[in-house]
């Protein structure tokens, strides 16, 4: 076996392994008021959070499943009543373990195989690890804590920073009324990250959270809340994975980002859910004057994904940038995109979307750019590029433009193509075989997203794409 084959096998093993279930508490399947009360009681939550959960549940029951979007993924196989919404592993149910060595052996082994301890030592200012429904470990370097930076799990934030959470949690950014899965999330959310960066503080090393579903038939509903005060800067990285099972899993996370004046937040995601997972997230940011929000997203796994990070440009001079890549293979429907609301003058946005489809997979870019009346001198540029490997695969582009102001600059470009025989032939003439030639073409195609990631994650993203091309995962 060559060194490259060994590397492929090692990378595959990092994501596809399974551990025997060993939970301290597990809720019943399905969604009832009693289930919500049990989850809240197990977390020792204050009454105000329970009230918010119950209101979200009430909204969830009134809202229909999304079925009327043109070309949307088929959700008929997803049965919420067969999903276990809450599984607590055998760790401290509020703050997790203080030291990595304090975690149960099976959880340590899981995250060691995923490379989390090594990443913490080499590349990160802080790291959190969620296993099933709870964050089992969270740590922040002391130098950032001394500057007032907070990086903890959301359950701890509810207890320790109640006023900040009350003000921001699922109020103006992602209310439960936004969509049915946002309401579901608001009812059963568990775990996730809370990041607070004080005014004029720059966190110049990324913070990362990694979310792992290990149990069959469960749902993971982590909530991430990032508050970057005026003039601050932070880069948050999110990684996700789950082993493959015979029944469906559900991931329905929620992300809320508040970017203060002149602040800068980058949110990077590398998702590698297994092919039995429905990935249905709601992510949104609100940006004040001259603030900058950047979304960098890589979606490789899942049976079906519906994910459209959105940004509300609230203040004059606010900026939003999206770079996304989606990969769909056999049996996958990856429906991703971006939404931008220009609600103030002199705002700007860019959306760069890349997609790859093979073996009958489907990718779709679904985006919205809204420029409000009065948002003069706003600028937006949308670029969608799709690459297909065969005639059985499909790639669609559904951009929506709502322009209510005449004094703006709007551009949109879309390309769809197959890997050209002449390109492959040229690379083969330089000594590459057919597979290596195609992988090189794909690596160049996704370069815009890998350039935006720290080198460790860029390398991992490239390896995952290579494995997907070979059909090795899931």
Polymer length of the chain: 474
Give the tokens for residue 132: 């099933």
266 pLDDT band (50/70/90 cuts)? very high
Say if residues 261 and 234 touch (Cβ distance below 8 Å): no
Residue 388 has a pLDDT of 85
Give the tokens for residue 229: 């005060």
Residues forming beta bridges with residue 326, ordered by sequence position: 299, 355
Cα distances from 324 to residues 8, 59, 77, in angstroms, run 24, 31, 27
Residue whose structure tokens are 């959700």? 75
Measured distance between the N- and C-terminal CA atoms of the chain, rounded to whole angstroms: 22
161 pLDDT band (50/70/90 cuts)? very high
What pTM does this model have? 0.85
Mean pLDDT to the nearest integer, 48-76: 93
Query: What is the Cα–Cα distance from 337 to 366, expressed in whole angstroms?
Result: 5
Does residue 1 register a pLDDT over 60?
no
Mean pLDDT to the nearest integer, 94-107: 53
Does residue 285 register a pLDDT over 50?
yes
Residue 155 has a pLDDT of 92
The percent of residues in the chain predicted with pLDDT above 90, rounded, is: 46
Mean pLDDT to the nearest integer, 342-346: 98
The percent of residues in the chain predicted with pLDDT above 70, rounded, is: 72
Indicate the domain borders of the chain: 3-307, 420-474
Does residue 180 register a pLDDT over 60?
yes
- pLDDT tens by residue, 453-473: 665 566 666 666 666 666 544
Residue 197 has a pLDDT of 96
Does residue 101 register a pLDDT over 70?
no
For 107-111, 179-183, 316-320, 356-360, which range has the lowest pLDDT when averaged over its residues?
Answer: 107-111
From the DSSP assignment, how many helices (H) and strands (E) are in the chain?
13, 26
Residue 17 has a pLDDT of 40
Does residue 430 register a pLDDT over 50?
yes
Residue spans of beta strands (DSSP E) within 9-162? 23-26, 87-89, 126-131, 134-140, 150-153
Query: What is the Cα–Cα distance from 242 to 132, expressed in whole angstroms?
Result: 10
Q: What are phi and psi of 96, to 5 degrees?
A: 75, -155
Kindly give, in sequence order, each residue whose CB lies less than 8 Å from that of residue 90, ignoring residues fewer than 6 positions away: 22, 23, 24, 104
Residue 95 has a pLDDT of 46
CA-wise closest residue to 201 among 267, 255, 149, 141: 149
Mean pLDDT to the nearest integer, 396-425: 84
């Amino acid at each position: 076996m060559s060194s490259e084959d060994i590397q492929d096998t090692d990378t595959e093993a990092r994501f596809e392994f399974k551990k025997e279930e060993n939970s301290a508490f597990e809720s019943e399947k399905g969604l009832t008021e009693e289930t919500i009360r049990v989850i809240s009681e197990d977390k020792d939550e204050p009454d105000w959070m329970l009230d918010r959960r119950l209101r979200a549940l009430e909204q969830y029951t009134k809202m229909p499943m999304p079925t009327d979007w043109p070309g949307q993924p088929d959700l008929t196989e997803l049965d919420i009543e067969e999903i276990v919404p809450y599984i607590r592993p055998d760790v401290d149910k509020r703050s997790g373990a203080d030291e990595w060595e304090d975690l149960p052996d099976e959880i340590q082994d899981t995250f060691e195989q995923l490379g989390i301890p090594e990443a913490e030592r080499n590349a990160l200012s802080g790291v959190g690890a969620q296993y099933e429904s709870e964050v089992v470990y969270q740590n922040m370097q002391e130098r950032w804590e001394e500057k007032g930076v907070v990086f903890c799990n959301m359950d701890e934030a509810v207890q320790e920073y109640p006023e900040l959470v009350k003000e921001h949690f699922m109020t103006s950014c992602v209310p439960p009324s936004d969509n049915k899965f946002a309401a579901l999330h608001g009812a059963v959310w568990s775990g996730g990250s809370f990041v607070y960066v004080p005014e004029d503080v720059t966190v110049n090393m990324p913070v990362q959270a990694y979310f792992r579903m290990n149990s069959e038939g469960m749902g993971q509903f982590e909530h991430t809340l990032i508050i970057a005060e005026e003039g601050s800067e932070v880069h948050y990285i999110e990684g996700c994975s789950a082993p493959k099972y015979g029944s469906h899993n559900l991931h329905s996370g929620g992300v809320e980002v508040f970017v203060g004046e002149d602040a800068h937040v980058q949110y990077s995601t590398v998702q590698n859910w297994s092919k039995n997972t429905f990935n249905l997230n709601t992510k949104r940011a609100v940006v004040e004057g001259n603030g900058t929000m950047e979304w960098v997203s890589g979606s490789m796994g899942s049976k079906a994904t519906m994910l459209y990070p959105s940004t509300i440009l609230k203040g004059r001079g606010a900026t939003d940038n999206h770079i996304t890549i989606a990969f769909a293979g056999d049996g996958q429907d990856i429906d991703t995109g971006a939404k931008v609301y220009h609600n103030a003058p002199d705002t700007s946005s860019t959306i760069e979307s890349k997609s790859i489809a093979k073996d009958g997979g489907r990718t779709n870019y679904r985006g919205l750019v809204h420029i409000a009346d009065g948002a003069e001198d706003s600028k937006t540029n949308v670029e969608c590029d799709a690459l297909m490997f065969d005639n059985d695969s499909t790639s669609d582009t559904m951009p929506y433009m709502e322009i209510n102001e005449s004094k703006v600059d709007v551009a949109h470009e879309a390309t769809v193509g197959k890997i050209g025989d002449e390109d492959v032939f040229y690379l083969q003439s330089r000594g590459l075989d057919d597979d290596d030639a195609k992988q090189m073409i794909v690596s160049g195609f996704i370069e815009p997203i890998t350039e935006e990631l720290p080198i460790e994650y860029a390398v991992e993203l490239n390896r995952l794409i290579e494995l997907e091309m070979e059909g090795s995962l899931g």
